[in-house]
Amino acid sequence: MAGETGRRVFVCACEGTMPLDEAGITRACARALPGAVVEHATQLCRAELDRFTAALGEADVMVACTQEAPLFSERAAEAGHTGRLDTVNIREQAGWSSEAKGATAKIAALIAAAAVPMPDTAIVSYASEGVTLIYGRDETAIEAARSLAHRLNLTVLLSRPRDIAPTRATDFPVLKGTIRAATGHLGAFALTVDDYAAPAPSSRAALAFGPGRDGAKSRCDVILDLSGGVPLFPAHEKRPGYLRADPADPAAVARAIFKASELVGQFDKPRFISFTDSLCAHSRNKRTGCSRCLDLCPVGAIAPSGDHVAIDTNICAGCGSCAAVCPTGAASYALPPSDALLRRLRALLLTYADAGGRRPVVLVHEGEHGAPLIEALARHGDGLPARVLAFQLNEVTALGIETVAAAFAHGAAELQVLMGARPRDDTEALDRTLTLADTVLRGLGFGEGRVGVIAADAPDALATALAALPRRDGVAEPRRFLAMGDKRGVMTTSLRELGKAAPVPATIIPLPDKAPFGNLAIDAAGCTLCLACVSACPTGALRDNPDRPMLTFTEDACVQCGLCTATCPEKVITLDPRLNLGPAAAEPRLVKEEEPFHCIRCSTPFGTKSTIERVAAKLSSTHWMYKGAPGNLDLMRMCADCRAITVTQTGKLDPYAAADRPRIMTTDDYLAAREAGAPDDPKKLN
């Protein structure tokens, strides 16, 4: 890895609790980080802290310890350190393990991966002034309001209240109403309320509400939902500013009240998704094509917007499902971008292989669930096996086929996704990714079961699942490619490199529906070369030729959006999801070509010969304007200019002429018909 000259890497044995092979780690890191200086320590955070301080300056510094990261950051700030300061966890992931003595390759791999820089992520900001709606059904909501009245600007809305005692003083409004619809997010909620009414100020034993009205509108910054009913939003726990608790659970209500009290001020979160609307294949010409992201977004942050979709970054919770299934790369995950993530994965797996590691298992996990579980396994169990390489993502649901393909192309033997045992409602995109990956891996001879999910909430369950993983043969010789560019390019590169590393090379692999790659089965005989599909294709997979009637198809560019099938008037196009790893996939393939029809007056080519003759034949036999009128029929065989000239010059051909209008029937006609004995059919008089 270039650019490592001057980097200082401190590997601490944590007071001798990790049996490290110092010489082996130094050799492996020297290969992975050319020019870096590796130093070993026993208690860097205490007795040897001066060694760390002396290394600070302009050069980059890495410390193989995350527990004391705040201390190292503080010392670096005090010293005016201008280089990078990175920390990496080798203790819980490698050193505290029953296989620690054989984890040298793994430790070097973790250090090399941590040295790969990650780009900054854009920020989305919220502003909340604390205008809060407490939505409930009984005194629980009023008691919650009393707890928050000193902190927030409150309104209590009770749905179908019964026997609610009036408050001694009107410190906050208490109203009646049922929320029919809710939209928005922290700082910008909009509500529609039915049966809305205010209490009479003369309410005595219980609040007496006036007649309710429907369709009342309200806005607020925060919603505290203690109604016990159906949540106001899908995946409600991910909606910023919406807090919901069961009113029968005092502890849950107390937690919600505490969270609500903090929602005043300015708040930031990452902009999880980068979206390029020009790449979106959702719609063209009012025809719907790709709807993968719309179907899968658990929080409802995506909506149609003309020919593309729009992602509300304020609502987006960062699950990454849209990016995982987006076939064009219009939606891509930004925490981090796919190319940066694959650089880190590449460093992890190649360093592991170069240091002598074999049959690595990539354990994909989230920081919130996976990291504490791995730590618990290290502290209270045997720790992770030496061949299991933990690889953290912000959300495992953002895992895309490009990451899985790159992992196996770089030499992974298995890829397992660590998740909680409780079911989640946002895993469909992950299921699609793993199904697609399993299909590709089986098609390339890797065998079944190379990818999977480990559902565990306890360290013992994780240890059991990892111990049950087989030590598979048939691991690919690591490919040393570097995937770069946009998501679609990274995806294509990773899959092609995986094909080159495959135990059983294959060119064509059938894929499941909604896969992002595929062929088009086009009935060339039924195609009229109207080229409607060309104008609808968002990726240029279907193209015409401006000089002659021709249709070509490039399989590599096809994302199986279905816009061509929806647009084709002859319905001769069928999607054929498959992965084509052959060179022909990148070359335009001729679908149909015809001789152009030449104008009978000036010989200018226009249209296709078969189309013009077919239309002329049909009109000559079915349309009154052209039957027995060869002059009018000749107009069909002229270009637009000659058609206008001919009509103007001769004056005998009127393309707008119509048949004779029927005679208008009058009262006299009906009377005459009645006298003739045909009162129900006066037209017989004609």
DSSP string, 75-101: HHHHTT--S-EEE---IIIIISSTTGG
Name the average pLDDT for the chain. 93
| Terminal C-alpha separation, the chain | 97
Please give the share of the chain, as a percent, with pLDDT higher than 70: 96
Does residue 278 or residue 475 have the better pLDDT?
278
The whole-number pLDDT of residue 680 equals: 55
The whole-number pLDDT of residue 685 equals: 45
The whole-number pLDDT of residue 266 equals: 97
Number of other residues whose CB lies within 10 A of the CB of residue 531: 16
Which residues lie across from 266 on neighbouring strands? Answer: 127
Please check the confidence at residue 657 and state whether its pLDDT lies above 70: no
Please check the confidence at residue 556 and state whether its pLDDT lies above 60: yes
Helices (H), 502-608: 532-536, 563-567
The whole-number pLDDT of residue 3 equals: 45
Closest to 488 measured CA to CA, from 276, 311, 336? 276
Give the DSSP H or E segment for 674: helix 667-675
Q: What is the pTM of this model?
A: 0.88
List CB contacts of 626: < 8 A, sequence separation 6 or more.
616, 619, 620, 632, 633, 636
Domain residue ranges in the chain: 1-87, 128-267, 271-333, 336-506, 518-593, 596-650, 658-686
- Class of 518-593 in CATH: alpha beta
Residue 654: pLDDT band with limits 50, 70, 90? low
> What's the CATH number for 271-333?
3.30.70.20
pLDDT in tens, 511-520: 999 999 999 9
Please give the share of the chain, as a percent, with pLDDT higher than 90: 81
Please check the confidence at residue 625 and state whether its pLDDT lies above 80: no
List CB contacts of 339: < 8 A, sequence separation 6 or more.
483, 484, 485, 490
**Among the ranges given (173-182, 392-401, 615-624), the one the predictor scored with the smallest mean pLDDT:** 615-624
271-333 and 518-593 agree in CATH topology:
yes
**CATH of 336-506 among 3.30.1420, 1.10.10, 3.30.450, 3.40.50:** 3.40.50
**CATH of 128-267 among 3.50.50.60, 2.40.30.10, 3.90.1170.50, 3.40.630.10:** 3.50.50.60
Number of helices (H), then strands (E), in the chain? 20, 31
As a whole number of angstroms, the distance between CA 155 and CA 411 comes to: 59
Give the DSSP H or E segment for 51: helix 49-55
Residue 686: pLDDT band with limits 50, 70, 90? very low
Residue 674: pLDDT band with limits 50, 70, 90? confident
CA dihedral 251, 257, 261, 262 (to 10 degrees): 50
Please check the confidence at residue 417 and state whether its pLDDT lies above 90: yes
